[in-house]
Amino acid sequence: MTEKAAVHHESWIQTEIQHFVATSPGNCLGKEEFEPAFGKPLVGFSNGADPLYDEYVAHIGNFYLTPLKTFQQAFPEQQTVTAAELTVISWILPSTAATRKDHSIRNRHPSERWARTRYYGEKFNEALRRHVVDRLLDQGISAMAPVLAPFWQKSMDGPYAPCSNWSERHAAYAAGLGTFGLCDGLITPVGKAIRTGSVVARCPIPPSPRPYTDHHAWCLHYSHGTCGKCIPRCPVNAISHSGHDKKRCMAYTHEVMSAYLIKTYQIKTYACGLCQAGVPCMDHIPAPEEG
């Protein structure tokens, strides 16, 4: 593929994602009156041969999939593909200002808008993954969405358990879209109250610039030794100055919260996200003086 063609792909994929988010009726909170779940998305690209993906395997465990492994599992007839021929397309879907405002004043349970974003918004995110794959296939480009693949799974093994064999947030980090906070959420230029998604395509596109070298660069706790404002936001003390206790968080979000969401909003999902709102990194990269 020529350089010109690669740049063309970068621009139409970006436009396609932004257009789908702006116009799809599926981008909604599932209420009687239409209300969008997400605002304008950010889009970034990383190359399949980026050494970060091997680093993820080394840190997370051998079960973790690189772009090459995930692509080859989806397209077993394309075993000769190289990692460098693959691009990981990542996006960030920012929750709306109304959702963030509602959630910021909650301190024990999710707001209705947050719960709806988690359920209906993630359904839309799934539709967006399928849409991106379909548009690429229309252009004759093989593509797949790792988290929609039948082999995508969660694992309770390894030092970062519970985790999955493909992480949307790690793909977004590789694409220059954000760095991890004390609570493990991804802090992006549009904040941490987001959903994220990705698609792997056999279509080399220039990788997006990665404006950081440290995976915690945009979290004030790690960069300046300040903030820690997500710590008291957690109702079950799953965040401390040492980091995020994923098992404690999961026990609360999956068990206590899923029962609450069904009872209160009749929504069958799990959610909490209190540490993602009412904090300086909720809707932007926090400045040092905000710590």
CB of 256 to ligand SF4, least distance (A): 9
Backbone angles phi, psi at 67, to 5 degrees: -55, -40
CB of 23 to ligand SF4, least distance (A): 31
Residue, CB closest to ligand SF4: 181
Rounded distance between C-alpha atoms, residue 125 and residue 236, angstroms:
28
CB of 223 to ligand SF4, least distance (A): 8
Quick one: 3 or 289, whose CB is closer to ligand SF4? 289
Quick one: 141 or 231, whose CB is closer to ligand SF4? 231
CB of 119 to ligand SF4, least distance (A): 15
Residues that bind ligand SF4 (CB under 6 A): 181-183, 219-221, 227-230, 233-234, 236, 238-239, 244, 249, 252-253, 272-275, 279-281, 286
CB of 262 to ligand SF4, least distance (A): 17
Tokens coding 2: 């020529």
Quick one: 75 or 212, whose CB is closer to ligand SF4? 212
Quick one: 73 or 223, whose CB is closer to ligand SF4? 223
Quick one: 45 or 270, whose CB is closer to ligand SF4? 270
CB of 106 to ligand SF4, least distance (A): 10
Got the DSSP string for 272-291?
A: --GGGSSSTTSSSPPPGGG-
How buried is 266 (Cβ within 10 angstroms: 0-12 exposed, 13-18 middle, 19+ buried)? exposed
**The residue type at 291:** G
* Nearest alpha carbon to residue 175 among 286, 34, 46: 46
Contacts of 113 (CB under 8 A, 6+ apart): 29, 95, 96, 98, 99, 102, 103
Quick one: 26 or 94, whose CB is closer to ligand SF4? 94
8 Å CB contact between 29 and 102: no
